[in-house]
């Protein structure tokens, strides 16, 4: 049976971290000490251990990473106050929320409390709006969609491709759709009300999945030759798994693994977004080219 190319994120993530480390060294020489803060509410042991590993990476890059877990009893007001405090602190260049928040907390309202120029996850309405209006170069673009696109483009250029996005969630699917349009892909968006998912998916050359349900896309719904990017993260029997049936490796041309794919790259991109945040805070905003014929925002037509 043919076996898909596995789109491991390791070397892409290493390259990003090298670039970040070099840039951080330059900033430190200029007297800037890059610092970001992550705010969690009732963090699970798994998310705390992920954050601790991010802190170790940050240390190596020369970035201070402050982790605050507001605990089990934090309400919306406490969360919003902490995000506003960090946004107003000039020593903190990046602020993000450890998502998902516990039920009962309003993610949208919390995101609104983050200064968009410190929004290293790229999820505030301001940054998503800039991306959606094709002003991506003025924004801090959402980290996980950047990872999905980078992994796919490590295998095939996306301009002109038929791309299906499964999931229209606030953190992945929605910003991903805008970023794919900015790169001249032809995009079909699928969600829980989509009928005949198999027919839609089989008609596309690239399939990106961000749902959070293991096996939501089966091997039978995919087609030979496709590039599949799996952003899903779930824990099943103590193991981290994605959304796509692992048997898909026998069908498609290339597929990103979980773990070791989108999540690995997202973690590195968040640090690159911190550098973008520092650039925005120092007033060094990039010019704002629109999506271009080359399919890469930032290049002239």
Nearer to ligand NAP, 7 or 27 (CB): 7
Minimum gap (Å) between residue 294 Cβ and ligand NAP: 27
What residue ranges bind ligand NAP (CB under 6 A)?
A: 144, 166-173, 190-194, 210-213, 216, 231-234, 262-263, 266
Beta carbon of residue 273, minimum distance to ligand NAP (angstroms, whole number): 13
In the complex, minimum distance from the CB of residue 289 to ligand NAP, in angstroms, rounded to a whole number: 27
Give the nearest distance from C-beta 170 to ligand NAP in angstroms.
Answer: 5
Environment class of 20 (CB within 10 Å of its CB; exposed 0-12, middle 13-18, buried 19+): buried
Our CB check for ligand NAP shows the closer of 82 and 121 to be 121
- State the minimum distance, in angstroms, from the CB of residue 123 to ligand NAP: 9
Name the pairing type of β-strands 186-190 and 206-209: unpaired
CB of 179 to ligand NAP, least distance (A): 14
Of the pair 139, 229, the CB lying nearest ligand NAP is at: 229
Nearer to ligand NAP, 79 or 190 (CB): 190
Q: Which is nearer to ligand NAP, 49 or 282 (CB)?
A: 49
Residue number, nearest CB to ligand NAP: 169
The residues, ordered by sequence, that sit 6+ positions from 93 with a Cβ below 8 Å of its Cβ are: 34, 35, 36, 118, 274, 277, 278, 281
Residue closer to ligand NAP, measured from CB, 89 or 155: 155
């Amino acid at each position: 049976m043919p076996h898909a190319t596995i789109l491991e994120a390791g070397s892409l993530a290493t390259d990003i971290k090298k670039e970040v480390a070099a840039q951080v060294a330059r900033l430190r020489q200029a007297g800037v000490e890059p610092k970001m803060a992550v705010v969690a509410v009732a963090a699970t042991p798994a998310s705390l251990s992920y954050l601790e590993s991010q802190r170790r990476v940050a240390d190596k890059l020369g970035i201070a990473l402050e982790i605050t877990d507001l605990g089990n009893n934090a309400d919306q007001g406490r969360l919003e106050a902490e995000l506003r405090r960090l946004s107003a602190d000039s020593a903190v260049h990046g602020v993000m929320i450890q998502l998902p928040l516990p039920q009962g907390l309003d993610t949208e309202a919390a995101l609104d409390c983050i200064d968009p120029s410190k929004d290293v996850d790229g999820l505030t309405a301001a940054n998503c709006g800039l991306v959606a209006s094709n002003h991506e170069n003025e924004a801090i673009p959402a980290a996980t969609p950047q990872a999905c696109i980078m992994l796919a483009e490590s295998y095939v250029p996306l301009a002109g491709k038929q791309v299906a996005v499964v999931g229209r969630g606030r953190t992945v699917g929605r910003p991903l759709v805008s970023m794919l349009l900015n790169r001249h892909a032809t995009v079909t968006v699928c969600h829980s009300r989509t009928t005949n998912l198999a027919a839609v998916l089989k008609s596309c050359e690239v399939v990106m999945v961000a749902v959070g349900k293991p096996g939501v896309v089966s091997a039978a719904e995919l087609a030979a030759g496709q590039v599949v990017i799996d952003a899903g993260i779930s824990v099943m029997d103590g193991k981290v798994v994605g959304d796509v049936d692992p048997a898909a490796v026998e069908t498609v041309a290339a597929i990103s693994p979980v773990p070791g794919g989108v999540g690995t790259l997202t973690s590195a991109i968040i640090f690159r977004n911190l550098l973008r945040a520092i650039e925005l805070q120092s007033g060094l905003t990039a010019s704002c080219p629109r999506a271009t014929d080359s399919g890469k925002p930032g290049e002239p037509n």
